[in-house]
Structure 1
Amino acid sequence: MTSLRRFCMTATGIAALSATLPASATTLETAFGSVEVDDDPSRVVTLYTGALDTALTTGMTPLGAVATRGGDGVPAYLSDATGDISIVGTPRETNIEAVAALKPDLILASPQLSESQYQLLSRIAPTVVPDVTPYQMDSWEQEAQVYGKALGQLDAVNEAIDEVDAQTQAIREDVADSPTASLIRWMPQGAIVMAPQIFSNTLLARSGFTVDDGDTVKEGRPHSDPLSLENLSKIDNDWLFLATLNAEGDEAYQAAKQSPAFDRLDVVQQDHVISVSGQLWTSASGPMAAQAILDDIDTAMHEMK
């Protein structure tokens, strides 16, 4: 990745790529103040999976995106829709020069984007950073609506959110007695428990589950520290949704499955362990991700009947 220092040395040249806004523009309130965007952007770069997901929801295929966590391309659930999209960084680091080379007229970034990165990106094109509090029940919806406004497609985004609401209500009718559930991501270092407030767990809660982290996640954190096999009993709930990100995580999980500590869990004995995609369940957000996660939940509930 190109360092920020190197980029700053060429900032003047990159700034020249910034397009003059047309007369038809919309002003958005963002995390870094008011931003004017073209009412009909055509060259969009997304620096956050939630932004990519939302753009695709509206029918817009961005020119560039960042790779998913644990991979070198977009999340598998979006790969068919994106085609041969340019990868311009990772969730941790954006290749600023690669973004500039695409000559975007709009950049959609993560709510966690730093101000220093914002200042660099905004030299290239109007950069939209949603002013949204993370880890709330409706954080993903608020983000999607900001991106929808930036794309001039708020109605399409709201329609997709309504479809998600209908899908969760349908699942809730099939889920009896508010069963407890946990979501973990198995890493080479062990299992980490995902916080109840993350995107996929809010969907589990809306679908009728009581999400329980066993008091393993510190306040304000997205997940716990890795648990030992012996401490897995803290999340021995009615259901366990279990994700991995890559081959190393898969191998660690397969090894853990052979241990007596894992096998004696009630949720294992009840055969209520549901394997899910880590890229989707622990790293994604947006309307398309919500529908894919709810499809997983619905499938699991019907298979267990």
Structure 2
Amino acid sequence: MKVFLKVLGALPLVAMLAGGAALARDVTGSMGTVSVPDQPKRVVVLTNEGTEALLALGVTPVGAVNSWNGSPWWDHISDAMEGAEPVGKESAVNLEMVAALEPDLILANKQRHEKIHSQLSAIAPTVMSKELRGDWKINFRLYAEALGKDTEANEAISAYDDAVASLRDKLGSSLDEEVSVIRFVPGQIRIYQLDSFSGVLLKDIGFKRPANQNVEEFAIRTGKESIPQMDGDRIFYFTYDTGDGKGRSLEDEVLADPLWQSLSAVKAGKLHKVSDAIWNTAGGIIAARLMLDDIAGIYGVK
């Protein structure tokens, strides 16, 4: 706590000179316009998708929130995060640890961190994205602007768009399938719609969706009684487990249910369990590229 108070007490010095970077640019995020260092050297990022954005832009943060189910990072980013310090979960940031890292820039998210915005801003210039769902490119471009990495961001997005176009061509008539996306979480089943991480990518590729999923919403939150509404020509599903086994228990229960077994996709053998991290929870550009790889593998078009 002494470190935290010391940093707050030195606010003018920290805000203006941390890491030797002078404030040189204004960036407008969800909580207003912030003056940020021209070339930030010590960046702390407080969302999983933000962590992926930094890595894709060639920046290793000095601190980042733990991956939701990582120890402390997702397997697919673990090697790249060497030297980064974990600072708690997205929903429970350790402010003392953030302050101790003496960042010159903090990247956060209004949906997660609005209540601690003033504390974060007292530590370092803080740029906040707005939401954590849907099109990852929106937050990616904001983080890139804050880092002074607009050119690199444009290149990364162009490479993603090229990969999408290539996969779309390879899939051909397979895109006529209506694909359903289902997630099992403790106490709840979600039927994902277009304004979700996987929904945006599937739309980018050109897949059709069942009518109840082909709407610009996030997800239908429901239970086993809605199993008939989860069908499609093909079903992708993933499970989030908090460590107590309840998510996987629900998955097992639903997959054994006669209603689930009666779904046309299940009977046709077009049921695919995929990674919750890649298809939903990580939520960033690295996961997006890995999801494209998953789809190519499932359809045999690699």
Q: TM-score, normalised by structure 1?
A: 0.85
The alignment partner of 1:158 has SS state of helix
Question: Is residue 238 of structure 1 aligned with residue 233 of structure 2?
Answer: yes
* Aligned counterparts, 1:225-304, within 5 A: 225-228=221-224, 230-246=225-241, 248=245, 249-302=247-300
Q: CA deviation at 1:147?
A: 0.7
**CA distance, structure 1, for counterparts of residue 10 and residue 94 of structure 2:** 13
**CA distance, structure 2, for counterparts of residue 77 and residue 134 of structure 1:** 20
Question: What RMSD over aligned residues (CA atoms) do the two structures have, in Å?
Answer: 2.9
Aligned partners of 1:240 and 1:267 also within 8 Å: yes
State the AA in 2 paired with 1:297: I
Q: CA deviation at 1:286?
A: 2.5
Aligned partners of 1:46 and 1:64 also within 8 Å: yes
Deviation by residue 1:106-143 (Cα, 9 ceiling, x = unmatched) = 1111242444311110110111113x56655xx32121
Which residue of 1 is the match for residue 176 of structure 2? 178
Which residue of 2 is the match for residue 119 of structure 1? 118
* Aligned counterparts, 1:46-65, within 5 A: 46-65=45-64
Aligned partners of 2:182 and 2:230 also within 8 Å: no
**CA distance, structure 1, for counterparts of residue 96 and residue 279 of structure 2:** 31
The alignment partner of 1:129 has SS state of strand
Which residue of 1 is the match for residue 199 of structure 2? 201
**CA distance, structure 2, for counterparts of residue 11 and residue 35 of structure 1:** 19
**CA distance, structure 2, for counterparts of residue 41 and residue 51 of structure 1:** 15
Identity level (%) = 32
The answer for unaligned runs of 5 or more in structure 2 is none
The answer for unaligned runs of 5 or more in structure 1 is none
Which residue of 2 is the match for residue 143 of structure 1? 139
Question: Which of the two has greater helix per residue?
Answer: 2
Which residue of 2 is the match for residue 41 of structure 1? 40
* Aligned counterparts, 1:36-115, within 5 A: 36-71=35-70, 73-115=72-114
Compared CA separation, residues 250 and 85, structure 1 to 2 (3 A): farther
Compared CA separation, residues 276 and 264, structure 1 to 2 (3 A): same
Which residue of 2 is the match for residue 153 of structure 1? 149
Q: CA deviation at 1:290?
A: 1.2
Deviation by residue 1:8-53 (Cα, 9 ceiling, x = unmatched) = 9888437377242444622111222221111211111100112111
Aligned partners of 2:7 and 2:123 also within 8 Å: no
More moved, 38-47 vs 168-177: 168-177
Could you list the structure 1 runs, at least 4 aligned residues long, displaced by more than 4 angstroms after superposition.
6-12, 21-24, 132-136
More moved, 75-84 vs 41-50: 75-84
Aligned partners of 1:17 and 1:124 also within 8 Å: no
Compared CA separation, residues 115 and 252, structure 1 to 2 (3 A): closer
